[in-house]
Amino acid sequence: MKKIALLLILMGLITIQLSAQNKSNQFSKADKLFETGDYFKAIDIYKKAYSKTKKKPAKAEISFKIAECYRLMNMTKEAPSWYKKAITGKYPDTHAVLHYANLLKTNGELDKAKEQFQLYKELVPDDPRGALGLESIETIKKWTANPSAYIVTELKSFNSKQSDFCAVYSKSSYSEIYFTSTREGSLGNKINNASGEKFSSIFVVNQDRKGKWSEPVLLDEGIINTNFDEGTPNLNKNKVAMYFTRCTKEKGVNSGCKIYFSEKKSQAWQTPTELKLLSDSSITVGHPAISEDELTLYFVAEMQGGIGGKDIWKVTRTRKTDKWGKPENLGGQINTIGNEMFPYMRNDSTLYFSSDGLLGIGGLDIFKATLSKGLWHVENMKSPINSEADDFGISFKDEANDAGLFSSTRNEKMGDNIYTFSLPEIKVVLAGLVKDAETGLTLEGAKVSLIGSDGTVMDRVSAQNGSFRFDLNTETDYLLTAELANYLKGKAEETTSGIEKTTTLNIEILMPPIKKVFELPNIEYAYAKADLSPISMVSLDNLVDLLNDNPNITIELGANTDFRGTTEGNETLSQARAQSVVDYLISKGISQKRLSAKGYGESHPKTVDKKIASIHTFLKENDLLDETFINNLQTTTQKEIAHQLNRRTEFRILSTDYKE
């Protein structure tokens, strides 16, 4: 009986070991499928292993692997819950937190995403993606609240329930489109285990004269399309050369993706040839983008010398008949620790691409990079081009037309879809009013002149209600002046720089009425001296502008003191101060013939006007701040205020018919 019991125990142990070994083999098989990109098959095996595993560390690891499969298949709704299980199970890879945060953001759960980005920032303080994620949460709110002027429309007429993406106009008339799709009818009948869909093919669709799109058909079956993956077509300027990606798989092993080239002859595409861009044929390359002069080819690869995940690279040649040179990484201005993909070159100086490593709204955002003096200036295309989902694969109608196609996963019920975008003509209107600078009343009959930095010159006359209107050009700076009898010239500035949508700008031109005396604000001197303080020079520069704008006037500069001190001393000091102002104006190029200095000492006490009375309630309009009035004020503070009002510099217009 003891021998039988021992035998049973040994058999049980063998069974447990075989079961554990079987589970290990299953896990190992799933890992191999994952490594080769067969995520669709790997998920099923991982899930079976998860249901049979009892140990928490193992379950956490399997959860992470399942989440990774879903993420890499772009199944953004399924992945988050598995990342959460991995995090709860204390899986040590911090990427679980980062990917979980990004997917929560993609799914619009911004508050939860913010918590996870904060956690990732604390776990990996040296990785900028934590701080970038936190910044993106606020950016989403700002950019979606203030979208750009682009109009985005889904191409429902030929989008399918499968993935449709990376479309380009294939005729100069814009009546034909090439695009990538995994829809029914694609040449590859097998399932791509990296996406769970059929192998993709390049389709073509045509538009009739009434604007209706035809049923999509395969592009040159057997020549361009094969039983494997074809996609991301990119055409040269004349639409007679095409670059595209082909990914092959032989005997269950992914052979990777390569870029192919085909020429159109007699309206038919010729047998494509593979471009030998890298010495190592095992490296996957794709997403080609040819420059307008066809001397630079941009592509995507993940290889040694890169910055992050997938990077954008380029190869160049001197002539079209030359071989392509050595690959160059576009550098840290374009590439990040994340992924940069789907390049598109426009005008040979503007690169469009998608990235999940730059400040953005969703997963992949579309960016515009402008090359100037060897440096790239990168900007997000913002909403509505970008959304909380993946946005990628942009292409334009032509170099002059700010309209085209792009792809997005923003429609949750369908996979990748193709959208059109266009930027309507931007109209900028300047609506203005001419007003009296003293009373605020509108002025009729003023001649308003507009000069633009682009050479524009226009004139208007203000209407009965003081209004005027100009149609402006974009990216232009404008100077406006207004002239009217018995008024000094009014001036204002406006710019349309940075305006991206139809806008009405409002402006007021204030015209000072010609009167006997104008007070100069903020004119200050050193105590008992005539030296001007720096703040005085700022105020006097405005007077310089006024004199330059009104070259027909001559003025007297008058300085006044309070009554303290001797009469003779105050007159001498005020004369010196008035002369200091005149000397400053002469140093700024104002003719001495137009200026005179007069020191009034204490002989011209200030009369309180409406504005002063509104500021200092102990004073009333028309109060004369002479010695008797000030001595009768109740407090020392009130007296000091009155003294300060008396210490002023003014100018008086002497004539309005001066000629140089």
Alpha carbon distance 431, 420 (integer Å): 34
Q: What is the mean pLDDT of residues 283-305?
A: 95
- Contacting residues for 231 by C-beta, under 8 A, at least 6 apart: 165, 166, 180, 200, 201, 202, 244, 245
If you ran DSSP here, which 8-state letter would residue 418 be given? E
537/505 same-domain check: no
User: How confident is the model at residue 9, as a pLDDT?
Assistant: 46
**339: in domain:** yes
| Domain stop point among 130, 145, 160 | 145
Beta-strand runs (E) in 161-240 = 164-169, 176-181, 191-192, 197-198, 201-206, 217-218, 229-235
162/206 same-domain check: yes
In 3D, which of 104, 102, 130, 135 has the Cα closest to residue 117?
Answer: 130
Is the pLDDT at 64 greater than 60, yes or no? Answer: yes
Q: Are 437 and 510 in contact (CB under 8 A)?
A: yes
78/181 same-domain check: no
**277: in domain:** yes
Give 116: exposed, middle or buried? Use CB within 10 Å, 0-12, 13-18, 19+.
Answer: buried
91/205 same-domain check: no
| Structural domains in the chain (count) | 4
Q: What is the CATH number of the domain that holds 78?
A: 1.25.40.10
- Alpha carbon distances (Å) from 399 to 175, 299, 575: 17, 20, 67
| Domain stop point among 124, 145, 166 | 145
**Over the Cα atoms of the chain, what is R_g?**
38
Q: Are 284 and 272 in contact (CB under 8 A)?
A: no
CA-based end-to-end distance of the chain: 131
- Contacting residues for 206 by C-beta, under 8 A, at least 6 apart: 175, 176, 213, 214
**399: in domain:** yes
**482: in domain:** yes
Alpha carbon distance 252, 285 (integer Å): 20
In 3D, which of 269, 299, 268, 266 has the Cα closest to residue 285?
Answer: 299
Is the pLDDT at 654 greater than 50, yes or no? Answer: yes
**8: in domain:** no
Enclosing domain of residue 434 = 428-511
What is the DSSP secondary-structure string of 279-323? S-TTS-EEEEEE-TTSSEEEEEE--TT-SSSSEEEEEE-SSTTSP
| Domain stop point among 145, 170, 196 | 145
345/251 same-domain check: yes
Instruction: Tell me which of 431 and 20 has the higher pLDDT.
Output: 431
485/528 same-domain check: no
User: How confident is the model at residue 539, as a pLDDT?
Assistant: 85
Is the pLDDT at 1 greater than 80, yes or no? Answer: no
**305: in domain:** yes
Instruction: Tell me which of 144 and 85 has the higher pLDDT.
Output: 85
For 568-592, the pLDDT digits (tens) are 999 999 999 999 999 999 999 999 9
211/336 same-domain check: yes
For 320-357, the pLDDT digits (tens) are 999 999 999 999 999 999 999 999 999 888 999 999 99
Structure tokens at 449: 């002149």
- Contacting residues for 569 by C-beta, under 8 A, at least 6 apart: none
* Mean pLDDT score across all residues of the chain: 89
Q: What is the mean pLDDT of residues 414-440?
A: 92
In 3D, which of 584, 623, 617 has the Cα closest to residue 605?
Answer: 623
Instruction: Tell me which of 165 and 51 has the higher pLDDT.
Output: 165
**585: in domain:** yes
For 99-150, the pLDDT digits (tens) are 999 999 888 898 999 999 999 999 999 999 999 999 989 888 888 888 888 9
Q: Are 223 and 269 in contact (CB under 8 A)?
A: yes
Q: What is the CATH number of the domain that holds 477?
A: 2.60.40.1120
For 481-518, the pLDDT digits (tens) are 999 999 999 999 999 998 888 899 999 999 999 877 88
| Greatest extent of the chain over all pairs of C-alpha atoms, in Å | 135
Count of CB atoms situated within 10 Å of the CB of 617: 7
Cα 523 to chain center, whole Å? Answer: 44
49/134 same-domain check: yes
Count of CB atoms situated within 10 Å of the CB of 156: 12
- Up-side HSE of residue 463: CA atoms within 13 Å toward CB? 7
484/523 same-domain check: no
163/72 same-domain check: no
In 3D, which of 495, 521, 648, 509 has the Cα closest to residue 574?
Answer: 648
285/361 same-domain check: yes
User: How confident is the model at residue 52, as a pLDDT?
Assistant: 87
User: Can you give the length of the chain in residues?
Assistant: 660
Answer whether the bond into residue 513 is a cis peptide, omega within 30°.
no
277/404 same-domain check: yes
Alpha carbon distance 168, 223 (integer Å): 19
Q: 611 pLDDT band (50/70/90 cuts)?
A: confident
Instruction: Tell me which of 467 and 24 has the higher pLDDT.
Output: 467
Structure tokens at 551: 């070259």
In 3D, which of 591, 559, 554 has the Cα closest to residue 575?
Answer: 559
User: How confident is the model at residue 75, as a pLDDT?
Assistant: 86
Phi/psi for 243 (5° steps) reads: -115, 135
What is the DSSP secondary-structure string of 321-340? TSPP---EE--TTT--SS-E
